[in-house]
A and B are shown apart, each in its own frame.
Chain A
Amino acid sequence: MDWGALHTILGGVNKHSTSIGKIWLTVLFIFRIMILVVAAERVWGDEQDDFVCNTLQPGCRNVCYDHFFPISHIRLWALQLIFVSTPALLVAMHVAYRRHEKKRRFRNGEKIDIEELKNEKFHIRGPLWWTYTSSIFFRIIFEAVFMYVFYYMYDGYQMPRLVKCDAWPCPNTVDCFVSRPTEKTTFTVFMLAVSGICMVLNLAELCYLVIKICMKESRKTT
């Protein structure tokens, strides 16, 4: 997975974020994407090869693995990271649209500095505020949904050592042993904790934006 491309795109959005947004982005890249790529993928690398069942029945192991791990943690986390990053692209698109508008005005004769246009930082006001706030809102929703999906699919956040499987063609209830369960539990809990932190950051940013706009409105009316 090429996370570098995501890094490039989100880096652009970083310029127009609040401070909390920048912290969120840092946490996302270092504590989630980097851990996923550097550590977690190795831990889950041999999850099927070393999934051992106490049976000689051919096909039983495959079926049992598929029954207990419909979608691997790694892939779920990758999906979660993509979904959680996507709302930021909305903001990037809005900023690009504003720049495009400015360029159009420049072409129509207004005096605008091209260099300044490239590096201009748009303040979060007006329609951009709505885009930004809705992107944060969707981020929170996606995080919560994925955390729930993890909980629902794997019955909690702990990786069991032994699973009992009686799917066909296993002749009877068969003991199957998961590979590296403790290490997997450690990383699952770690990623859960970081998701929680990201959610808290997003909530804080949402509150900050709402309070800022309320204060601005009240200052305007007084």
Chain B
Amino acid sequence: MGEWSFLGDFLEKVHKHSTVVGKVWLTVLFIFRMLVLGTAAESSWGDEQSDFMCDTQQPGCENVCYDKAFPISHVRFWVLQIIFVSTPSLVYMGHAMHTVRMEEKRKMKEAELEAREKKNGGDTYYQQKCSVAEKEAKLSGWDEAGGQIILRGSLLNTYVYSILIRTAMEVAFIVGQYVLYGIFLETLYICQRAPCPHPVNCYVSRPTEKNVFIVFMLAVAVLSLFLSLAELYHLGWKKAKERCSRSYKASPSTAPGRLESAPQAERAQMYTPPPDFNQCLSSPNGKFISPFSNKMASQQNTANFATERVHGQEDAAGEGPFIKSSYVESPEAASECAAPAFPENYFNEKRRFSKASRASSKARSDDLSV
């Protein structure tokens, strides 16, 4: 099993950033496939060529008959299967690591901007920059409060694609195994190939034991396929539900009614780019950079009021429209691309005092919440 450690180490990291079904899939991969392959199957197939006997004295006939019967040994086929099936997860992990790194860079940049802004005494440019950065963060699937990676936006897409490709690979290898060998190995193989002078009886070594392992590995492959499909269904169903509920709720709200749109806790888990982006595109007439200078004062008052409330009620999820709309939903609370000033500013306040930032500023990689 030592040789599998290279892949094993990488997959351990993937394990941390997977959903629950993904973790089950990885466990199945490790225990039922890699371990079984490395220990039992290898010794079963160890003497496959030396004990492949043909009823002939013709030199070379056994070699060519073995080559014809087993173009690629089962064990090597399964090794390739495991590697190709694990590869999409590695790509996803690369993306997740990239997201974590980008998030750390963004935090550093914001800290710098904050310091600079304190010197300058505050201006809208910084707030707009924060709004852009916020949008990026939301798109990439980063949740500030929990320090977790939430599957959202491009990260979710990568995850879904990785599962799709994984499923395709599983199917391809199962079908390939069937095409190459059928399901069961026969004891007797009749071979007709030069230099064998005539059709020759060749006898496979340990056919029953090999059949047991073939059936076992096939069953595990089908189980893995089933787990991948279950994960896809789970992700797809949630995504469709979110999209339906969002499209239903987005239609009546066109006014900058952040307070009205607030109590939508489920929006915390959206999977596509936030609605304000789409709304921006759909209504391009001056809603994007509307000068709300006459409303700034009242907004600032509201912000200060909300900030005071938040300091007292940090743990309350969904306790008030301000908390909901500005923290979790700030991209859409920056709704219709209007008045970016309020949510971003507020968000910074919230972030400054969130539990996560107090406890640690490092990314915590736990169970993914979808």
Interface residues of A (CB under 8 A from B): 3-4, 7, 19, 22-23, 26, 29-31, 33-35, 37-39, 42-43, 46, 49-50, 52-55, 161-162, 175-183, 186-187, 190
Interface residues of B (CB under 8 A from A): 2-7, 10, 42, 49-50, 58-60, 62-64, 66-67, 70-73, 75-76, 79-80, 83, 87, 90, 94, 98, 194-195
B3 and A46: CB pair below 8 A?
Answer: no
Q: How far is the CB of B97 from chain A (nearest CB, A)?
A: 9
Bound CA–CA A43/B42 (angstroms): 12
Q: Which residues of B contact A39 (CB under 8 A)?
A: 75-76, 79-80
From A30, A52, A179, B6 is in contact (CB under 8 Å) with: A30
From A31, A33, A178, B63 is in contact (CB under 8 Å) with: A178
Q: Which residue of B lies closest to A182 (CB)?
A: B71
Q: Answer whether A43 and B67 are a contact pair too, CB < 8 Å, given A23-B94, A177-B59, A177-B60.
A: no
Q: Which residues of B contact A49 (CB under 8 A)?
A: 50
Bound CA–CA A175/B194 (angstroms): 11
B90 and A182: CB pair below 8 A?
Answer: no
B62 and A52: CB pair below 8 A?
Answer: yes
Q: Which residue of A lies closest to B82 (CB)?
A: A38
A26 and B195: CB pair below 8 A?
Answer: no
Q: Which residues of A contact B7 (CB under 8 A)?
A: 30, 34
A183 and B10: CB pair below 8 A?
Answer: no
Q: Which residue of B lies closest to A180 (CB)?
A: B67
The CB with the most chain B CB atoms within 10 A, among A7, A19, A22, A52, is that of A52
Given contacts A30-B7, A177-B59, A177-B60, list 6 more A-B pairs with CB under 8 A: A4-B2, A7-B6, A30-B6, A52-B59, A175-B60, A175-B195
Bound CA–CA A180/B90 (angstroms): 32
Q: Answer whether A180 and B60 are a contact pair too, CB < 8 Å, given A29-B6, A39-B80, A43-B73.
A: no
The CB with the most chain A CB atoms within 10 A, among B2, B6, B58, B64, is that of B6
Q: Which residues of A contact B76 (CB under 8 A)?
A: 39, 42-43, 183, 187
Q: List 20 A-B contacts (CB under 8 A).
A: A22-B94, A29-B6, A30-B83, A34-B3, A34-B6, A38-B3, A39-B80, A42-B75, A43-B76, A46-B49, A52-B63, A54-B195, A162-B195, A175-B60, A177-B59, A177-B60, A177-B63, A181-B67, A182-B67, A183-B67
From B49, B58, B79, A38 is in contact (CB under 8 Å) with: B79
A161 and B59: CB pair below 8 A?
Answer: no
Bound CA–CA A16/B76 (angstroms): 35
A53 and B63: CB pair below 8 A?
Answer: no
The CB with the most chain B CB atoms within 10 A, among A7, A26, A178, A186, is that of A26
Q: Which residues of A contact B62 (CB under 8 A)?
A: 52
Q: Which residues of A contact B66 (CB under 8 A)?
A: 179-180
Bound CA–CA A175/B50 (angstroms): 20
Q: Which residue of A lies closest to B84 (CB)?
A: A31
Bound CA–CA A33/B83 (angstroms): 12
Q: Answer whether A177 and B64 are a contact pair too, CB < 8 Å, given A37-B3, A50-B50.
A: yes
Bound CA–CA A176/B42 (angstroms): 28
From A29, A46, A182, B50 is in contact (CB under 8 Å) with: A46
Q: Answer whether A183 and B73 are a contact pair too, CB < 8 Å, given A35-B79, A38-B3.
A: yes
A30 and B90: CB pair below 8 A?
Answer: yes
Bound CA–CA A105/B289 (angstroms): 53
B195 and A19: CB pair below 8 A?
Answer: no
Q: Which residue of B lies closest to A29 (CB)?
A: B6
Q: How far is the CB of A99 from chain B (nearest CB, A)?
A: 22
